[in-house]
Amino acid sequence: MSQPIPFTDLNFKLAVVQELMYVQELLPRFDLREHASAQGFTYDDGSFGAVPEALAHFEALEVPAGLAEKITEIQMDGGNEIYLQIAPNWDGEDDLFDVDEFADLRHFPNLKSMTLLYTGDQEALEALRARGIEADWV
């Protein structure tokens, strides 16, 4: 097993895990209901915020560095499965999952396309494009 990727931005990590777990199915699938049952906690599934135990699971999740080459595109969207597993009623109207830091790009040499949740930060798009990554807002 390869070393884990040392992420600096949790939301960037979540975008990568969405691709590896729910799209490519290379990581074991996380299901909030099953996790809550197994861990013995309850949560408010009507809340727009993150379920702390779900967020903690993804913070602790190790993503093997060997999977980094599998990431060629990242599609961030309010309807992504990972966001619904962390914040079941999240409506995408706040910055809960916005990426603030792009230092983690260094781990993904094959990343060619990235669709970001809208933040209005044009500099972020330009920085991604300067690295040869097609970038746009959802």
pLDDT by residue (tens digit) across 71-116? 999 999 999 999 999 999 998 889 999 998 899 999 999 999 999 9
Does a structural domain hold residue 4?
Answer: no
Does a structural domain hold residue 3?
Answer: no
Cβ–Cβ under 8 Å, residues 103 and 8: yes
At residue 105, φ and ψ (nearest 5 deg) are -55, -30
Q: Which residues contact 59 (CB under 8 A, 6 or more apart)?
A: 10
Confidence (pLDDT) at 54: 98
Does a structural domain hold residue 127?
Answer: yes
Does a structural domain hold residue 5?
Answer: no
What is the C-alpha separation between 125 and 120, in angstroms, rounded? Answer: 9
Does a structural domain hold residue 32?
Answer: yes
pLDDT in tens, 27-42: 999 999 999 999 999 9
Does a structural domain hold residue 24?
Answer: yes
> Is residue 1 very low, low, confident or very high in pLDDT (cuts 50, 70, 90)?
low
Range of the domain at 61: 10-137
Does a structural domain hold residue 2?
Answer: no
Number of domains in the chain: 1
Does a structural domain hold residue 87?
Answer: yes
